[in-house]
Chain A
């Protein structure tokens, strides 16, 4: 695919683990479908976080792995069964999105197809589809206090996903503040996209090569640690 094929990359679980560092006690956190949903596994029980799922729970527990414990009426937005946890409550869809729209979500973590240098999020309309499904991501992207994107740094075909300007239809404009990829952690700032952490085995120039947007590289860029 490219000259970087032999370089180390984080798997989905490791990306989720890195992203979990941005989840602090007391936060209300919404995890989107895909990689973001793995994040909760890395939040130890003594770090109390109120996980929200837009289909109508606040304060649920872990994703359930044992089929005998599954309750089909206690699932997250991805359809995964989740644990009933002390302090949780159920709400209707309109109440759930009132919570989102009202700005009560501290952090949402979303997957994406592309992110623009200005923070534009394009995560609903894959190339070639007649239309995309905008789902509940749009409300989260517009209204959460902080939007973190978890995605591979490149498309499967090796193309860039962090763009000077997104080429796919946008879910929400200028909303992303942090991107965690399989090789780096980047922040969207007024000065552009700043490279914060780089995975061991990569250097910043190599990250720039697989990124369409021009990166700001501080002198103290760190190593991505899990």
Chain B
């Protein structure tokens, strides 16, 4: 008599997503839902959808959900958590949402040490609006607002959110993972598990940046997209844990030069 060893988590509703074929938003949805199931907190979790391709996340996660205006999910999360500290609150945000228009909200939410969890999906492009440049777009990468490739002279270098937030003095768990390869997805899930556990234990703010693909706007088939990510994003966005509440201050010191 056969036992099911892999199937849809309770945390996800049984519907087909609107995501493009091979978009790893779907993988990240599943990992988050699995972790919430495992921690047994689904019934007291409130998620916050961003404005971005995952704007409809509330149609997929089987829990109470909140919309947020573009980039402000961390402020919305703050409001929810301060009103109801017993709830488990997480935001799910894209790189345009979090790193461009939402930069102020994420920095201050992290710095206040709000006991919430941020799932930061970095696909190096604006998906929903049709492939414009994101703060995370790589040098030379083509986007509809930099059709000759991102010119770092004019637009600067890609922002590494995890590195930036790790310098804050307020204790937090901050890590970067990727889901372009199933073995790394397993690690990504472990990072998410730790992030949510820190919240469940009311320890600190937690954020996991997850590198993700956007085959549609990268203009490559899904299978190539995973390779593109490995080749181009991994070198610039190193995976790993950058900051733990136990660990010491990650801020750079003056180097006198």
A and B bound?
A: no
Residue ranges of A at the interface with B (Cβ–Cβ < 8 Å)? none
